[in-house]
Amino acid sequence: MTENLEKIRDILRSSITSVKNYYIGDPVLIPASYLPCITIDQVSTAVKTLDSARDIYTTNVQLSYIMDIRSDFNKRPDEVIGTTTLREVMEGRDASGDLKTNSIVYLLTKNWDLGSDWKINNEYNINYAEKARWEQLITREAILTFSIYKAQLRG
Q: What is the pLDDT of residue 80?
A: 63
The pLDDT value recorded for residue 69 is 80
Q: Where are the domains of the chain?
A: 2-153
CA distances from 28 to 25, 36, 72, 82, 129 (A): 9, 13, 21, 19, 15
Question: Mean pLDDT, to the nearest integer, of 45-61?
Answer: 96
Q: For the whole model, what pTM was predicted?
A: 0.89
pLDDT digits (tens, 9 = 90+) for 81-139: 678 889 999 999 999 999 999 999 999 999 999 999 999 999 999 999 877 676 677 78
Q: Looking at residue 83, what is its pLDDT? A: 81
Q: Domain 2-153 belongs to what architecture?
A: 2-Layer Sandwich (3.30)
Residue 125 parent element (H or E): strand 118-134
The one-letter amino acid code at 37 reads C
By three-state DSSP, how is residue 25 classified? coil
Per-residue model confidence (pLDDT) at position 134: 67
* More reliable by pLDDT, 12 or 72: 12
